[in-house]
Structure 1
Amino acid sequence: DPGHIMLKNMKDFLLTTAEEAGVKFQYYCGKGGTDAGAAHLKNHGVPSTTIGVCARYIHSHQTLYSMDDFLEAQAFLQTIVKKLDRSTVDLIKNY
């Protein structure tokens, strides 16, 4: 999302989490918008990011994507949720 500026501590947390968990990832900045672009501006800033799965025909009734990519994203999200505690959130918000 070109309207979203991720906090450095959030980026560091996500990259470290992915690398420690052995999750495959790649960077991509699309031209379209997501809710992360609006969310990061609310209430003096909400740490946010977009985690997506590369897919074709996303605005149609049938989307094509790699199941391996989906499972990697799912594993990444599960790992993030398990690691997010109050101290981690406070560290992310300290910029």
Structure 2
Amino acid sequence: MSHFMHDVMGATVDEPDPETRARVLDGLAEADDEHPDVSLSHESGWYLSAFRDGLLVWENTEDGSAPPGELREVAREEILRLFGLLARGDIASVERLPWRR
């Protein structure tokens, strides 16, 4: 399964391993109004965007019928766990969370 990340400045990181995902997430310390998030995208069209304040957005860019969802105050370790699930293509496990739509 193919996946990639965008770091806080928008650079693409292909197939990041867990250590790279953690490093990209830590880049949120440099986030600003113009570059507020990092994201992990899966080839299925699903992606997770993480923001410095713990906001996590779950959305499918290829399926307009799936409304985006939000979780607030998500801890760093949970974000990394969810990035890992999405990287493996475990969409169902991520989708089961209590997303506010």
Relative to the length of structure 2, the TM-score reads: 0.25
Bigger strand share: 2
Relative to the length of structure 1, the TM-score reads: 0.25
- Higher RCO (C-alpha under 8 Å, 6+ residues apart): 1
Bigger helix share: 1
